[in-house]
Structure 1
Amino acid sequence: MATASPVPLRRCQLLGLAGTAFLALGGESAGALPVRDIPAPSSARAAVGLVGAYFGVVLLIAAWASLGRLVHGAGPPSPRALLRVLAAWAAPLLLAPPLFSRDVYSYLAQGAMVDAHLDVYTHGPALLGGPLAEQVAPVWRHTAAPYGPVFLAAASELSALTRGELPAGLLGMRLLALLGLALMAAVLPPLARRSGGEPSAALWLGALNPLVLLHLVAGAHNDALMLGLLGLGLVAALGGRPLPAAVLVTLAALVKAPAALGLAAVLVLQVRSGRSPLRAALTTGATAAGTTVAATLVAGTGYGWVRALDTPVSPGNWAPTSLLGRVTAALLIRVGSDLAPLAVPAWHLAGLALTAALLLGLWRRLHLRPVYALGLSLAAVAALGPAIRPWYALWGLFLIAAAAPSAGARHRGAAVAGVLALAVLPGGGPADRGHLVLAVSGGALALVVLWQAHQVYRTPVWGPAA
């Protein structure tokens, strides 16, 4: 099969590289910086950084969309060529400051707490005190960790290795995220081949999309490790190795809990291979339980992560159920009802019920496509849960990229990713009018540059092929 011309592919690579380079440079003054390095909000340095960062984000989105035209056109780039593009785009972000979220500071503080034998499932980083706790966003300083023992064990080892030094810790967390991304990129082609998808299209949507680069690489989120282990487990399950599959999926869930849904896919694939449902359920459940006990014993964190799954939701969270809860509470307060405090919990409960109903429907309808069913299930959990962040969309997109039954499904996922990539400012905090003006200015400047490039080359630089 013919491959894409190297000239358009090189243009995509260079355009995306320029985007992440501008983002990294802008992040030096507009990112989620250590407290001592944050410039005054009204300073020229902060303003220029925000404009430059959003200029880079829009360039990256355009490069990715242009790459999508090649991937969905005649003679798409090979997976190996796409991996080279991914490496080039990610390179400038390796040494950039944290971007779009301060969660990485929470990771470091929680790792230091485990290393100091403090109970992270009862206390927040405020108990640790010191420079690391000061870096954690105030809303989370008194909040227990919601993560599983596998991630906290890794964070603890990193804390011991770096001796609590902030620069080394940030680099270590980013390298851990890059390990997760490497696993994601490695498993997407075999997942796609075994699920009836196209490897290059899977890599384009599942590993090269802007949300991955902005939040898993630049933000160093532990979702990368969760998804990498989950994908590795699914490849094992599709290859007829249910026990290693159950172990890997359980380890993913012991990073972040949503991955536990992957055990349903492991179970379904065993039944499809001829194993009785009862035997499949017993072996999968026993393997998951044994893995959980062993991992928790090694980590030494105990089972507090079970009760920590109901970690409080930030007051300004824009998850649909939280928004509806706040609106309902405001209306009840206006009419003088005493039920106002129950509005948010009631909507959260309704969201959980709707999620459960959707999951049952999805698995009944799509049991012959378990990877795709799992992707849609994780998307539903992300969308209807009590808290939502842009990178949560990757839970579902990662698997939808591999197993989507049509190009249209991938394009809808790409549209979601493109919009969400613009949803958070590089500093990770709330945006006021001045921040929005600067961000829009940076994006508009990028669009002007892209239009000029379009006029010069007379070829589109954005928009996936139909």
Structure 2
Amino acid sequence: MATTTDPVPGAGTRTGKGLADTFIPADPESGTGRFPLRTTLMGVVGSVLVLIASFGAAGVLVHDPVLSQGPLSWIRYGHGKVLMTGLLYVGFGLVVWAWVRLGRHVLAGRVGARPVVIAALSWMAPLLVAPPLFTRDVFSYLGQGAQLLHGLDPYAYGPAALDTLPTVVENVHPLWQTTPAPYGPLFLWISQHIVGATGENVIAGVIVTRLVLLVGLAAVLWALPKLVRKLGGNLAVTMWLAVASPMMVIHLVGGPHNDLLMLGFLAVGVLLALDRKHALAVGLVTVGMLIKPTAAIALPFLVWIWANHLPAERSLCRRFVAAVTPALGIFGAVFVAGTWASLGSFNLGWFAGLSAPQIIVNWLNFPSGVGEAVHTLVKTIVDVPPGPFVDVARGLGWLALAAIAVRQWWLARHGDDNTTIFRMGIALLTVAIFAPPTLPWYLTWGFVVLALFRWKRTHLAAVVGISVFLVLVYYPTGEQSLYHWWFIVGVVAASLYAAASLLKPDPLGLVAAWRRPDVRRPELPLSSPTSRSSR
């Protein structure tokens, strides 16, 4: 390969490697301090367009007290809704374009972490008052909180069993009307108090839920710089990847999703573990588990960090026992106390509720997709139902998940802090991909942790494409588009173009062709040069 120079500050001159193959340098303070004003404003304009269009095209209320009967009711139906949907995609495209431009600034060392965070927050701000984007999960949060508020066990019944607060219940997606809650008791307690404050005002309930979940974002923003300094990543890249991406802006904030609050507890817990405050770290991550059970994946890795911080002259087995014993005690105490305080009893029904989301079957979950693909092939020969194929594939997927997660945990036993946290991120990402269902925002579990480390440019470009894809595979209303194949072809094309744009502006030369001046040779004159000169 031809010799090239890596122009990123802090990397120096590198030979023998192409620009796309070099790692981004571990320079958490990189950037000249310039503020990317035009790029930030582009994202703000896009976010405002998403906000405006969301009132007709996103997860709107069944009976909207503001728009249903007013002069703007047309945006919720027919051609008006189509227009708003198109406008929302235009706004989303501007947000993605701004994010990719911001990424190019970061990779070139023109901006540091602070401008990235300011840009991300400015893109999030308009969405705080928008209807739910690309999901309707927040209505389930409110419905389950209403159940708890009125004495109905959300782990035994779905929101449809609630007779009171019909305005809240009617907006829950039909799929979740009769299914028990899959969330931790602490989050249901939070939802209960949100509904207690907002009552049947669902619009206020959505906005207050977003504001509460921003506590998780604040925790992430506080912990990431300290984690990057400990783990050797690049802070500007980390903030661009974990905070400014469409996965955070559109999914976790625009959604909104309680994964954001869980990630806040997880990030702070990991930081405390690296600071050797192990008891507090285990306690906080257990609290995160009481928000969303996924945080439990991190706890075994925290035990290895604890064990590896103990005196090295002791054997690994003795250090493990010395770490896991108090960790189990702290976990048990926080788990029991948190469950009792949230529900008023030691109700473990939420473990059964974890199976509820598995009724979602689509190819975004890798094992489910394999099962559906095999069924499609077999069905060309004999007409058989898809259920057995999906069930078998999911069973094998669970085995693969267990093998990968246990292997990552076991390989971390002799590792330093960097290795252990990296393998934790891999385990979280594996759970999101292999455990049914795979919903797009689930991949933020691993992305936020893995963003702490050094990345190759080509890998960052892949994350850009994946992030755009994971937003667009659901419609703004929250319904999936995974089996509308021509739409998916367009989604894949848009995702690939966004990925390529990180490494090369205008990769297809579309803008350049539009701006290129007319360089065609002028037509030859009818008369010869000799005859012209003789005149």
Does the pair score TM above 0.5?
Answer: yes
Query: Partners of 1:338 and 1:435 in 2: how far apart?
Result: 26
- Higher mean displacement: 315-324 or 197-206: 315-324
When residues 433 and 272 of structure 1 are mapped into structure 2, their CA distance, relative to the original with a 3 A threshold, is closer
Which structure 2 residues correspond to residues 227-238 of structure 1 after superposition, within 5 A? 227-238=263-274
**Residue 461 of structure 1 corresponds to which residue in structure 2?**
none
TM superposition shift of 1:22 = 1.0
For the residue of structure 1 that corresponds to 2:95, the secondary structure is helix
Q: Deviations over 1:440-461 (max 9, x none)?
A: 8xx89x99xx9799669x9xxx
Aligned residues with identical type, % of pairs: 29
**Residue 181 of structure 1 corresponds to which residue in structure 2?**
217
TM superposition shift of 1:429 = 1.4
- Gaps (5+ residues) in structure 1? 459-466
TM superposition shift of 1:325 = 2.8
- Gaps (5+ residues) in structure 2? 1-28, 69-73, 312-318, 499-504, 516-535
**Residue 377 of structure 1 corresponds to which residue in structure 2?**
427
Which of 354, 371, 393 aligns to 1:309? It is 354
**Residue 27 of structure 1 corresponds to which residue in structure 2?**
54
Which structure 2 residues correspond to residues 249-328 of structure 1 after superposition, within 5 A? 249-274=285-310, 276-300=319-343, 302-318=347-363, 319-328=365-374
**Residue 143 of structure 2 corresponds to which residue in structure 1?**
109
**Residue 414 of structure 1 corresponds to which residue in structure 2?**
464
**Residue 63 of structure 2 corresponds to which residue in structure 1?**
36
When residues 394 and 340 of structure 1 are mapped into structure 2, their CA distance, relative to the original with a 3 A threshold, is closer
Say whether the 8 Å CA contact 1:196–1:405 is kept in structure 2. Answer: no
Task: Identify, as 1 or 2, the structure richer in helix.
Answer: 1
For the residue of structure 2 that corresponds to 1:383, the secondary structure is helix
TM-score normalised by structure 1 residue count = 0.88
**Residue 396 of structure 2 corresponds to which residue in structure 1?**
350
For the residue of structure 1 that corresponds to 2:233, the secondary structure is coil
Which of 252, 271, 276 aligns to 1:216? It is 252
When residues 164 and 298 of structure 1 are mapped into structure 2, their CA distance, relative to the original with a 3 A threshold, is farther
Query: Partners of 1:308 and 1:322 in 2: how far apart?
Result: 20
Query: Partners of 1:402 and 1:67 in 2: how far apart?
Result: 18
Backbone CA RMSD of aligned residues:
3.1
TM superposition shift of 1:117 = 1.4
Query: Partners of 1:229 and 1:350 in 2: how far apart?
Result: 31
- Higher mean displacement: 174-183 or 404-413: 404-413
TM superposition shift of 1:362 = 2.5
TM-score normalised by structure 2 residue count = 0.77
Say whether the 8 Å CA contact 1:189–1:198 is kept in structure 2. Answer: no
Q: Amino acid of the residue matched to residue 289 of structure 1?
A: G
**Residue 102 of structure 2 corresponds to which residue in structure 1?**
67
When residues 339 and 208 of structure 1 are mapped into structure 2, their CA distance, relative to the original with a 3 A threshold, is closer
Which of 87, 91, 101 aligns to 1:52? It is 87
Give the count of matched residue pairs: 450
When residues 267 and 18 of structure 1 are mapped into structure 2, their CA distance, relative to the original with a 3 A threshold, is same
- Larger Rg belongs to: 2
Query: Partners of 1:113 and 1:383 in 2: how far apart?
Result: 31
For the residue of structure 2 that corresponds to 1:254, the secondary structure is helix
Q: Deviations over 1:224-279 (max 9, x none)?
A: 00111100100110111001100111111111111111112211111121261101
**Residue 476 of structure 2 corresponds to which residue in structure 1?**
426
**Residue 116 of structure 2 corresponds to which residue in structure 1?**
82
Tell me if 1:14 matches 2:29: no
Say whether the 8 Å CA contact 1:190–1:199 is kept in structure 2. Answer: no
